[in-house]
A and B are shown apart, each in its own frame.
Chain A
Amino acid sequence: MMDKLIFGRYIPGDSFVHRLDPRAKLLGAIFYIVIIFLANNWATYAVLALFAFTAIYLSGINRRFFFNGIRPLIWLILFTVVLQVLFTSGETVYLSLGPIVISQEGIINGIFIFVRFVLIIFMSTLLTLTTMPLSLTDAIEYLLRPFKLVKLPVHEIALMLSIALRFVPTLMDETEKIMNAQRARGVDFGEGSVFQQMKAIVPLLIPLFVSSFNRAEELATAMEARGYQGGEGRSKYRVLHWGRNDTLVMVAFAVLAAALFFLRT
């Protein structure tokens, strides 16, 4: 299941969506998630769904791959939706068993919530599938810039994000190594009861923690030796380019919002 789950992964490509400025994509995805709460009838949800499917189409990502990758998450949503249906009261009641009520309103509500969740996952998955994590960090740093006024350490946050991303594969390798070393000493991973499995993780986590702290210290020393003294007076090597298509996409989102205002009841 983990292999198929594509949430949060990046698939390199050269489609219309891939080439967009990460800021446009990030802003768009956030905007979409906000305006989805304007939707309150079938027409508005249909418009939102159409928009999402168009975006997926433009990303050039294989549809079957996309939907298969999201399927594990759908089960999770279905579960919350079922709870929602069971505990929403309404006027047209089909079934009532103590606190459990199934009503027409509950079911419709449940379907809307389901669609809403699925669409949000579509858009956020599309964002991470088509944007390099590093570009996403750049976009976050750029978009957070206004918050510098309220003393938010924007540069530090961005640096932390990019260092974290950079060390993911390094730590994965290390985990693998420690696991093998512990296996050689007779630790069984993934066997026994849940409690035993949890216990088996301890000899994995502790060495990993210790070495991470060592790495952090060495990295800090290396950064200082290379003249790092905080965000003040730093120049940036990576630059973002806002193009015509990015403006176009922003306009498309504005039109979508207008349509929602018009169609909602």
Chain B
Amino acid sequence: MGINKRGVFFSSDAILAMSIIFLVLLIALPSIILVLHQPPQTEVHRDILGAFSSLKVGYVNDTYTKELIASNIITNPNNTILEQIGEFYVTNYSLAQEFANQMLVDVNTNQNIGIWYENRLIASINKTPIESAENVETARQIISGIKEGSSVTGFSARAFLLSASKNDFIFYGGYVGDGAITSRVEYQGTLKKVEMELAINDDFDVYVNGINVGSFQKSPSVYTPIDYDIPIGNFSSGVNTLQLKNKNGNLLGISGGFIKLSYNTENVTNSGQRYYFPGVDGLINIYDGFYIPQNLSSVNIFLHINSGNVAFLNIGNTTVFRNSTQGEQTFSISNSQLSSQLNYQSLVGKTVPLRLGLENVSYFANYSLYTDVFSVTDLSSSMNSNIPSLGVKMISLARNANSKFVEIMLTSPFNRVGLVGYNTEVTPDNYHALSNDSNSLNNSINAWTTKAGNCVCCGVINATQSFASQSSSNKFKFMVVMTDGSMQGTCYSGSNSATADAIRASCEAYDNYNITSYTVGFGDGADSTTLQAMAQCGRGNYYHSSVDEIVNIYSKIANDIINASYAEQTLKFTGNFTTKLFSDSYIEFNYTQPGKPYGSYVSVEKTFSDSVSGNFDILNGSTLDSVKVVSYSGPRWTALATLNNNLVYNLSNYGKDFTTLGDPYFVVLPNNLVSGSNSVTLQTGVSPSNFSAGSASNKIIYTVIQNALTYSPISSYSNGCNWTIEFEDNTNITSAIPGNYSGSNICSYTRSSESYDSNDAFQIAVFNLLQLLDLDKNGKVDSKFTQNDLQVDITQITGIPYAWSTEVQARTWN
């Protein structure tokens, strides 16, 4: 019984266990069956990507596609279907959908099929939405050159200043005249532009190779240049002549300037070893200079000249030519002759003045330069009074002032000074005739005595009579009349007015002898009304001087007189003859040209901050090639130049009589004194002791060597733009870049605005280039160029796979 019970027990356990197993398996059965009945995997999604990525649209045998190609909507038939859909995807999404669906039109399958670009469904053939799918299979493919909202193909551009583009400068001297002026213009290549910057004294016509190409107006002043555009139609590659002819019957004089040639060339010329003189048809009067960088081995001179007057050529202070001609003649001065006259070593590494002129004409001009001046000084008893604040007598200050006046006036050996001391009359012990003997004059000044009386007209008339007897009509004549009180004493019969007589004496001095009268009221007791009237009638100026300023006032008057006389130098010539210097005349310097580093040479023009100084910076990454300062000195001489407080040019090193010295238009500054930030000063002068400010139009021209080549990154497109570019001198140009761009895009690189499209390869490359040429990064391009100079050449490289890529998915689902 027990055994049976145990058997039943075991059997029921087994049945129970089996039932549990059955129950579990029955629950799991549907899943097991489902697994076993998994639908077969499909390859359709992979096939679609494969087919779409291997069939080019140009081969698609489909009317719709052919129409797209025919209508140029599809521009690249070599695109695969996948790429073409991608192109439409970024440029015209609805067209992408339409095209993709058309490509699927012959795909007939029970599968649900869809094509996605990134997360956007482009096309589908489906019976059920993917959202309800239980099983999704995906094939993926990456295509490059696709970025939503961008292009399908990248563009890269590079911008650079064409090496074939070249600018040459032909400099006029500090002064070139007087008459028709001819320049030798040589270039090899295709001329793009000719510009001139001149400070010129009169209106003129321009002749190119003998053909009149236009009339132009004079510059605002001889200190202020103006820019001219010269028509280029009559130029040809090779040697040309450019002549300026006067329009109004006056002789032309150029007080500095240059001709700038912009042209394309494949020739690399090594110019600069020959200095060509400008041709002058009129009166040869050239003030210039030159610069030899190193190792001068020989010099030869060729002059082609026609001058009945003696012409002279001074290099530095050495006269290397002095001759007249019988008609047109040429002169060759050999190196052997020149080497015996010149110390070549002294000509190297600095700017050397050069003067070519006519002796006879210069003689007349120099006579007109020469100045006779009488100092007419009050020696009344009031001048013997003490000045408590200074502890000196007024006569002592007058003596000091006159001594200074003599010193300044006699800086030119051709000037003369006379002394007239007056009280009731002019006595011999207070008089000194016109003289350039400063010792004698100073001795006379120191011997002055005073006594009562203040006959101003007596002093003026005495000086006038002295001029009449001692001076000549072709000299400048001045008198400086000083008094500390009121007019006393009469000079004309029947007159009872000392004031009227003083004024009359001054008027007659000018009217009869061309004597200019400057008057000085010394202290507060002076009759300033009468003195002003005297100065007005005598065409001079009136100065009031406090007791402690008298020396300065006399110094100023002396400088004014010198300036007035020298200012006339280059403007007035007398005589009735003409001379001619031909523009094939030259000086040939043979020297070793310094090696030039490889790179793009960028010339920067920096206008002076004021009439005395300017500054420039050499930034890191730029290598200095050369730097020079150009001077618009007018009728004065460029006399002193400093760089970073180092004196780099001093004309007086070559002599005291500036009229025999040249006047360089530009002074070359030594590279070894150039640092990162630099200051330059420049002064003009008429004598070693007379300096004054120059022109605010002076400029520093420096050339740096730089890798002026820029690239754009791979960008979406390359359209171009109309650029407005501001330069360091605050001028602008507007130019389409590239040159054939005719769209309406506006870009700028100016101080106030830097705008461009960061997706346009052209614009990026140009912007980068402009930044590179903006050496001080102030939004203004340092390298001045005209629209024609802007030979920014852009090479477009198409077909670069765009950096962005897009995932394409083909999905099937059920």
A binds B: no
